[in-house]
Structure formats: C-alpha cells, structure tokens
Amino acid sequence: MAKTTRQQYDNTSIVSLKGEERVRKRPAVIFGSDDLEGCKHAVFEILSNAIDEAREGHGDTIIVTRYEDLSVEIEDFGRGCPVDYNEKEKRYNWELVFCELYAGGKYGENGENYEYSLGLNGLGSCSTQYASEFFDATIRRDGFRYDLHFEKGRNKGGLKKEPTDRKKTGSCFRWRPDRQVFTDINIPVEYYRDVLRRQAVVNKGITFRFRYQVGSKFETEEYLYENGIQQHLEELVGDDAFTMPAYWEAERRGRDAENRPEMKLKITSAFCFSKKVNHVEYYHNSSWLEYGGSPDRAVRSAFVAAFDKFLKDNNKYTKNESKIIYQDIQDSLVLITNCFSTIGCFENQTKKSVNSKFTQEAMTNFFKEKLQVWFIENKQEADRAAEQILINKRARESAEKTRSNIKKNLVAKVDIANRVQKFVDCRSKDASVRELYIVEGDSALGSVKQSRNAEFQGIMPVRGKILNCLKADYNKIFASPIITDLMKVLGCGVEIEGKKAKELSSFDIEALRWNKVIICTDADVDGFQIRTLILTMLYRLCPTLIRDGYVYIAESPLFEINYKDGGQELTQFAYNELEKARILKEIEGKKYTIQRSKGLGENEPEMMAMTTMNPETRRLIKVMPEDAERTAYYFDILLGDSLNERKNFIAENGAKYLELADIS
C-alpha cells in the first residue's frame, strides 16, 4: 500500500497569525468557545468596560439594546474611550483599543484610571471587534464626536471627527457577531436579563436599561438595586428567613506570593438562614463566578470551621457524633459575596472563576472573624441556625445510609444466605441461556413452576399491582420490597439520572443474570395493567434492558378449543377472537368445545408448557420501543389518574400487541 504523502515540517512551517486572524481563527482562546457561550462572552467584554466607567463615578446608566437582526448595542455615559492621536505611542488610540490585543487604559503602574476594574487585560474591545461582521463605535469626549466603522476586523474609512452634538460624554458601540466566527449568534433575551440583573445587584446605584426590538417597537426593562446585595438577599428569601439578614464588609491587603505586587481586596457579603431557600452567589469585580474558585473554597472552609466550633462549645453534638460538612450548612444558607481587587486574579479571560491564594486566605479569615462576632451578638439566631444545620446533617446521614443499603441490596448476589422470597432459580449458571419469567401472583407461580424447564428457566412472582414507577420518586420506589427484590434477582443494578440518585447509578449490563426477561401475566385487562406496570418499572430503572432487547412478553392463549378429527382428540389454542374464528372455520362441521382461559394459575401444566414455556412452540413479543419519549407517553396514558380511561384504552388496544408476535 502506498504511503500518504505528508506536508514537510521544516523551518517554513511556523506561521504567525496577524491582525484579526488572531481572534477569528481561534476565537475559543479569548472567548472560551466558538459557540453561543463564546458569543455571549463577547457581549460581556464590552459591557464590562461600561461597568468599569460607571463604577468609577462616570455616569450612572448603561443601555443595552438587542436588535432583531441580532446586532447588539451598548451605550454608557462615562468619559468616552480615547481614540485620537497618542503622542506617547505615536499611533491613534483607536488602533490600540480596537486593533491591538493587550492594549488599553488599565496598565498604569498605580492604576490611576480604575481602582477596581472588571476589564483588565486589554483584550475585550479588540477581540469583540475582530469577531464581528461589523462594528461601529461612536465616542463623545473633549467636545468632539468620533466615529469608526469596522467590517470583519478591518477598519473602513478611518476616524471621523466633528464637534459633538451633545454635552454628555460617553461611548456607544453597535456590532453584529460574525457567523463565520461563532457557530451561533442568536443570544436569547433571557441571557441579557440575567446578566443585567446580576450586574445591577453588585453595582448598586447603577441603572441597567435593557431594550429589545420586537417588530418596529422596542420593549424596555430596567434593573436598579439601590442597596445592592442586601436588597437582593431580601428579594431571594422574602419572609422565609429564620435569621435576620447580616451585611458585612472589610478591606484586606496582601500578596499571592512574595514576588507579586500588593493587592487591595474589598470584601462585601450578605447572608441569612432559611428553611425554604438555599442559594449562594459569588462575584469578583462584579463578574459572576459561575465556577466559584477561591471565594467558594473560603466560604466552605470558614463556615464549617466556625459552626463546628460553635456546636462543640455549646455541647450541641450528641456523644460520638460525626462533625458537620458544608452541605449541611448550604442546605439552609442564603449568601451573596462580591469582592473587588486591584489586581486581577481570574483563572482566564472568561472570568468565571478566581484563583488567588491571598483572596482565599483573606476571605476565610474574614468569614471566621465575622461569624465569631455574630455568634456572640446574635446568640438566639446562632442557636437556631446551628440546630437547623444539625437537622440537615442527620437527615443527610440517614438518607446516605438508606441509599447505601439499597445499593448493596440491588447488586447483592442471590444465594442461600440472601434469598428472595418465593424466587425460583434455575440450575444453569450460564447467563447466555438463562430465562427469567416474571409472573403474576402465587397461583401463576405454581403452574409455571410445574411446566418450566428447570435447567434454564427461573421464576419471580410479583404480588398484586406494583407501584407506578413513572410518577413516583426514588425514595418511594426503593421502599417497595417487590421492586428491590426483582432488581436483586436481575442482578444488573439500576441506571438513574439526577444528582440525588447518583450513588445508586451502578448499572452494569455485564452483571445481568439472564438472557431473556419474560413478563407473563393473565390475558385480561388486569393482566395488561400489571404487565404495563412491570414494563414501566424496567423502563424507569433499567431502560437499557428494553433498548437492547432483553425484555419479552409471553402471550398466553385466551381460548382452548378441543375437537375430534378421525377419531383423534385434538386441541388448538387461540390467542384472540380472530384466531378463534379462524380455527372454528377450519373445523367447521366437527364437534368441539371451547374453554376460555380464566388465568395462568388455572392452566394445566401441559398446556402452559406448550403455549407459554416451550421455546419451540411459545409466542414471545420482544419489547423494543421506537423511542423513550413515545414509550413514556403511552405509559402515562396507561398509568394516569383515571381508572376507567385506562381500562378502556387497554381493552381497546391491548390485542394490538399480538401483531408483533413471533416464535422465539
């Protein structure tokens, strides 16, 4: 086979991206991704600069507009971005701000322009401009209006300068993110609402006005929190707090390392405890820390240490009781923190996490100190909080013990020391041939047991109608011994979605002890209902068994037709009315008797072996739902609150399953 010719890798292979290509070809480096999330971050970059101006006291209103063509406009009333000629740099400032990465007004040695700044790296304006289909800037300052127009990262027409038409200074930018850079630019209205509300919370006194175009009109909303995080905390808890909201603030100075410059850190925090609400938000330089980082680690450490000491000092732990963990506190905690630092300590340009040794240590000590004072000055409230934390702790431990026991029970090996009541195993240990019959009640157990092949067919009876697993929560499901016994017999564990059931997600198809799981119920309305309940349980707890074709339905006949032909006693079985009519037509003229099945428990073993158990003659339906949503839809109909509706639906549609019948 000829080798594929590869491009030579030599000294000419190294390429330097220039100009707009630095962002347009690798947007994820700056924005975190090249999808909608990256596009959102580009908006936040421009918004950050407007916030920095307003927070320094230059303007108190920021206007954000979302147009129907998906372009965005952000206007502030600050000092206006300098864009004229820069004698020091021997270039126009607009070239530095909009066309040069790592250039801006926040690199001064003393930070004279911005004490606490969200935009720090000189990347935002330039990278957003580079990533736009078009980008228009209008700047008003020094008595002039400056206009710039860019297309796909390149300036068109240079800088236009004329006397300003208004007294107010400020910057206004309108741009449309480029679909050649981002896979999606349709930023939803809810994103703007969420971001602007959060920024109003941590920038008290600043009005954030949001306009979004609907047809030829603009809908307008405003966000303003005069009291910042205090007001937001009260908004979150309403009347559901059982401790009064506390508001703390302080300043700390320090360094991340000896060779790093000194950082000034301003910490503000508000918290209370509630039995109905638990909510924690972290901000740094007003950026919401979606991933937390140092502030989150500080809160966890400080609150656990402080409350653990309070519980010990006040003898609230019982003898030999384990100490609390943060989850026990968080379950009732409502807390908002916002820090500002003079030196940036974000983990990366997307500003979703902070990583700073000094920030973490300073905040940990801040919360420990404040909590110690709070315990003394608010003893009754501290007692209430501590008691609720202990309630949360003991409830958690009880739930963990229950989950642990359930998990062990679901995957435990079934043997003489760990028997499941009335389960009948088969002799073979080869899972590739073993078949499990799930039967309806003790009477069916008897007839199936007598007619089975004990070498490879096992039996598991279910007593009555099992729980409707489609709507029940997991605690209720696993409180049912019928369900836990059946899952133990299956041996493969359960596959459950959601955080609460994480510890139970131990499904292993390789541990399944059976090649076929066969549901065997009476051929009447009640039998159909029990069959559906069992299918629902399997669909909810181990849907892979259905998807991969391990689950079957055993069809038992409705009619036994006996007749004589040439002196011989013959028997045929009909599984529905159509088959009965066909058989009667075939034996027309002969004497016959028809016996309707009254249930599996009343069938003769010979009949059960021939019609339901023998692989050569039985009828099995392999359960293979077209998709999970459709299955859930029909299960919901069958398991709804209306008993009559359910019975009518089953009676009318149950026979349709026979169209899927196949000899297996």
CB-CB neighbours of 647 under 10 Å: 15
pLDDT in the model for residue 516: 95
- Does the pLDDT of residue 505 top 60, yes or no? no
pLDDT in the model for residue 642: 56
Q: What separation in angstroms does the CA of 115 have from each of 202, 256, 263, 636?
A: 16, 18, 11, 59
**% of residues, the chain, pLDDT over 70:** 83
**% of residues, the chain, pLDDT over 90:** 44
Q: What digits encode the pLDDT tens for the residues 435-452?
A: 999 988 777 788 888 889
Q: Average pLDDT for residues 651-663, to the nearest whole number?
A: 54
Beta bridge partners of 292: 353
Pick the residue with more confidence: 286 or 177? Answer: 177
pLDDT in the model for residue 661: 44
DSSP code per residue over 203-247: STT-EEEEEEEETTEEEEEEE--TTHHHHHHHHHHTT-BSS--EE
Whether 518 contacts 489, CB under 8 Å? no
Q: Average pLDDT for residues 333-359, to the nearest whole number?
A: 79
pLDDT in the model for residue 107: 46
Q: Average pLDDT for residues 238-256, to the nearest whole number?
A: 92
pLDDT in the model for residue 433: 95
Q: What digits encode the pLDDT tens for the residues 577-587?
A: 899 999 999 98
Nearest to 596, CA basis, from 524, 651, 534, 655: 524
- Residue 417: pLDDT band by 50, 70, 90 thresholds? very low
Report how far residue 416's alpha carbon sits from residue 453's, in angstroms, rounded to the nearest whole number: 21
Whether 155 contacts 92, CB under 8 Å? no
Hey, what are 23's tokens? Answer: 């962002």
* Backbone phi, psi, residue 339, to 5°: -115, 150
pLDDT in the model for residue 110: 42
Whether 153 contacts 129, CB under 8 Å? yes
Whether 386 contacts 323, CB under 8 Å? no
Residues 6+ apart with CB under 8 A from 31: 37, 38, 39, 41, 42, 127, 131, 349, 350
- Residue 601: pLDDT band by 50, 70, 90 thresholds? low
- Residue 154: pLDDT band by 50, 70, 90 thresholds? very high
- Does the pLDDT of residue 513 top 90, yes or no? yes
**pTM score, two decimals?**
0.59
pLDDT in the model for residue 340: 86
Q: What is the mean pLDDT of the chain?
A: 84
CB-CB neighbours of 357 under 10 Å: 14
Which amino acid would we find at residue 333? L
Report how far residue 439's alpha carbon sits from residue 222's, in angstroms, rounded to the nearest whole number: 63
Q: Is 69 exposed, middle or buried (0-12, 13-18, 19+ CB in 10 A)?
A: exposed
H or E stretch at 371: helix 357-377
Whether 116 contacts 123, CB under 8 Å? no
Which is it for strands 551-554 and 516-520: parallel, antiparallel or unpaired?
parallel
Q: Average pLDDT for residues 136-158, to the nearest whole number?
A: 94
Lowest mean pLDDT among 9-23, 155-169, 599-613: 9-23
Q: Average pLDDT for residues 343-371, to the nearest whole number?
A: 82
Pick the residue with more confidence: 590 or 471? Answer: 590
Lowest mean pLDDT among 187-201, 272-286, 567-581: 567-581
Residues 6+ apart with CB under 8 A from 267: 248, 249, 250, 251, 252, 337, 339, 362, 363, 366
pLDDT in the model for residue 25: 82
pLDDT in the model for residue 600: 73
Lowest mean pLDDT among 97-111, 283-297, 465-479, 545-559: 97-111
pLDDT in the model for residue 536: 85
pLDDT in the model for residue 157: 92
pLDDT in the model for residue 557: 84
Hey, what are 183's tokens? Answer: 């896979």
- Does the pLDDT of residue 384 top 80, yes or no? yes
Lowest mean pLDDT among 222-231, 277-286, 593-602: 593-602
- Does the pLDDT of residue 238 top 80, yes or no? yes
DSSP code per residue over 520-579: E--SSHHHHHHHHHHHHHHHHH-HHHHHTT-EEEEPPPSEEEEEEETTEEEEEEESSHHH
- Does the pLDDT of residue 116 top 80, yes or no? no
Pick the residue with more confidence: 325 or 599? Answer: 325
Tokens 């421009």, located at residue:
46
Which amino acid would we find at residue 227? N
* Helix, strand, coil content of the chain in percent (nearest 5): 40, 25, 40
Whether 41 contacts 27, CB under 8 Å? no
Sign of CA dihedral 506, 508, 513, 516: positive
DSSP code per residue over 255-318: -SSTTSPPEEEEEEEEEEEBSS--EEEEEETTEE-TTEEHHHHHHHHHHHHHHHHHHHHTT-SP
H or E stretch at 323: none
pLDDT in the model for residue 533: 85
Pick the residue with more confidence: 450 or 211? Answer: 211
- Residue 412: pLDDT band by 50, 70, 90 thresholds? low
Q: Average pLDDT for residues 533-548, to the nearest whole number?
A: 88
